[in-house]
Structure formats: structure tokens, C-alpha cells
């Protein structure tokens, strides 16, 4: 286990980028072979738009990494945080760290991104994609992505999470992000079994339905039991899902400038009630 964590801690940037490329490519290829929904769209153009958002978010991630490197060193030197106050096996500490990050920096902040008007304005872009596939996982407004990173930092400070644990979590969450957005068919029985613990493609599809109430369900990224515990779980036939967001102009889902301006466009309603 220590050797595995040392591998993640010393992993060069090119290997992290390679992991992202592998996750996108693998899911993208499977989509071509066994699609859940047969979209009539230009797959390469769609991917290009979403990868522009990925490039912006990777820039934020790079800056975040540089700024927080000193924090990880400080936590390790001063033994600050909950994990430094207890003596547990490494695998148990790692599991606690991953669960704490997944709950706070994924489920909880995702819930807030839907419920807090200011945050929702930035998150709407992720829901504007009318043809959700693996590349849709990268479709986050820089403001949305930055808020998620801030919540991750809070968890790191409270728990005293080591850099190796955090990087392991990042690799896992990258895998699940692309896996759960991928447009490929999974047998219902297998998907239901997996969804007892993990977020699955069929489960996450409901979150991308164009209207309420499904839009405000299934907030998890790695573990599905957060949605089960807090009553935000929906599970139905994924083929009933219509992608997009009824609050935005669906004809501009590939218009990058339109998407980037959405949070600042006061003419866009935040709910269908207004």
C-alpha cells in the first residue's frame, strides 16, 4: 500500500494527463460500440467544445496544485488534522480520506451548486449539454470548478489529508467522472448491483435530465450511498432521460462564449417558476 501511495505522490504531470486521456478515450470507444442512446451529432466537434472547458479547468488545477503544495507540507510537518490525531492502518486512513473528499468536495458542494442561486449560475453550463457522453464530464465553467477545489481544500485542512491520499482520490474521481457520463449500454441488473455502492452511468443519467425533479437528484460522483442516505436518489429507465436544461437555449449548447457568459446573464432565469 505504501508503494502504491508513493507512486501517486511522485507521479509526474504527464502521467496524470495520460490517465485523463485513457479514461476519456476508453469510454469514448465503448460508446461507439454499444451506445445507450444513438445521438445524431458530430462527435468530434462535440468533444472539441467540451475539451476547451477541460483545458480551462486543468489550468485552474495546475494553479491550485502549486498554491496548495505548501499546505500539504505544512500539514505533514506539524501533524495537523484529524488523521494525524489517530493511528489507523494506511488503507483505513485512505478510505476515510477518499470518503470525506467524495462527500464534501463532490456530493455536498454539488448539492449546493444546485441550491444556491449564485453557485447554480456557474453550474448550469454542465447541464446545458444536450448530447451527454464521456467528454461531458469535462464541461465545467471555471467558476464551478474553482468552487469544488475550495471545498476540497477545506476537507484537506480538517482531516490533515496527505498529498498521496489526495492524488489517489483525484485519479479515482477522474475515472468515475468519465465512466458515469459515458453514453454506453450497461445491463440493468449489473448496473443496479454496482449502484448499491458506486455511482453508475445509468444512475447518473437522471441528473442530466432537462427538467425537475430529476435534475436535482443523484449528486454523487464515486459513492452512491450519499444519495441513498440523504434521500436524493432516483433510479428509473435511463432511456426516458432528455438531456439539456430547460432554462437555457438548447441551440447554443455548443457555443462556448454563450456558455461562459451564462453566469453573468441576468436575463437567464434560475428556475421555471420565475
Burial degree of 225 (CB within 10 A; 0-12, 13-18, 19+)? middle
- The three-class DSSP label of residue 35 is strand
Number of other CB atoms surrounding residue 193 within 10 Å: 12
Distance in angstroms (rounded) separating the CA atoms of residues 103 and 112:
12
Distance in angstroms (rounded) separating the CA atoms of residues 223 and 225:
6
Distance in angstroms (rounded) separating the CA atoms of residues 77 and 71:
10
Cα dihedral across residues 234, 145, 175, 80: positive or negative: negative
Euclidean distance between the first and the last CA atom of the chain, given in angstroms as a whole number: 53
Number of other CB atoms surrounding residue 237 within 10 Å: 10
What own/partner pairs with CB < 8 Å and gap ≥ 24 does 247-253 have? 247/124, 247/271, 247/272, 248/124, 248/127, 248/128, 250/128, 250/130, 252/128, 253/128, 253/129, 253/130, 253/131
Number of other CB atoms surrounding residue 229 within 10 Å: 12
Distance in angstroms (rounded) separating the CA atoms of residues 251 and 143:
23
Q: Which pLDDT does position 274 carry in this prediction?
A: 41
Q: Which pLDDT does position 273 carry in this prediction?
A: 57
Helix (H) or strand (E) holding 119, with range, is: helix 117-127
Number of other CB atoms surrounding residue 213 within 10 Å: 9
Distance in angstroms (rounded) separating the CA atoms of residues 257 and 49:
11
- The three-class DSSP label of residue 185 is coil
Q: Which pLDDT does position 65 carry in this prediction?
A: 77
Q: Which pLDDT does position 261 carry in this prediction?
A: 93
Which residues of the chain carry a pLDDT beneath 70? 272-274
Amino acid at each position: 500500500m505504501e508503494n502504491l501511495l508513493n507512486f501517486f505522490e511522485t507521479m509526474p504531470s504527464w502521467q496524470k494527463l495520460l490517465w485523463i486521456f485513457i479514461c476519456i478515450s476508453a469510454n469514448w470507444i465503448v460508446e461507439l460500440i454499444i451506445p445507450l442512446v444513438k445521438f445524431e451529432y458530430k462527435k468530434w466537434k462535440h468533444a472539441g467544445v467540451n475539451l476547451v472547458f477541460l483545458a480551462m479547468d486543468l489550468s485552474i488545477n495546475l494553479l491550485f496544485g502549486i498554491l496548495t503544495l505548501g499546505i500539504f507540507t505544512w500539514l505533514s510537518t506539524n501533524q495537523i488534522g484529524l488523521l494525524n490525531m489517530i493511528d489507523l492502518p494506511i488503507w483505513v486512513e485512505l478510505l476515510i480520506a477518499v470518503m470525506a473528499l467524495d462527500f464534501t468536495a463532490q456530493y455536498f458542494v454539488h448539492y449546493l451548486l444546485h441550491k444556491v442561486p449564485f453557485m447554480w449560475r456557474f453550474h448550469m453550463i454542465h447541464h446545458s449539454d444536450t448530447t451527454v457522453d464521456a467528454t461531458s464530464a469535462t464541461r465545467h465553467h471555471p467558476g464551478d470548478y474553482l468552487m469544488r477545489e475550495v471545498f476540497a481544500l477545506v476537507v484537506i485542512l480538517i482531516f490533515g489529508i496527505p498529498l498521496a491520499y489526495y492524488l489517489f482520490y483525484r485519479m479515482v474521481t477522474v475515472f468515475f467522472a468519465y465512466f458515469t457520463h459515458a453514453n454506453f449500454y450497461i445491463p440493468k441488473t449489473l448496473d443496479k448491483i454496482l449502484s448499491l455502492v458506486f455511482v453508475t452511468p445509468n444512475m447518473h443519467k437522471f441528473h442530466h435530465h432537462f427538467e425537475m425533479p430529476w435534475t436535482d437528484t443523484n449528486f454523487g460522483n464515486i459513492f452512491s450511498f450519499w444519495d441513498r442516505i440523504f434521500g436524493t436518489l432516483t433510479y428509473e429507465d435511463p432511456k426516458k432521460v432528455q438531456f439539456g436544461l430547460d432554462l437555457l437555449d438548447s441551440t447554443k449548447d455548443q457555443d462556448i462564449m454563450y456558455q461562459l457568459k451564462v453566469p453573468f446573464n441576468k436575463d437567464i432565469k434560475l428556475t421555471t417558476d420565475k
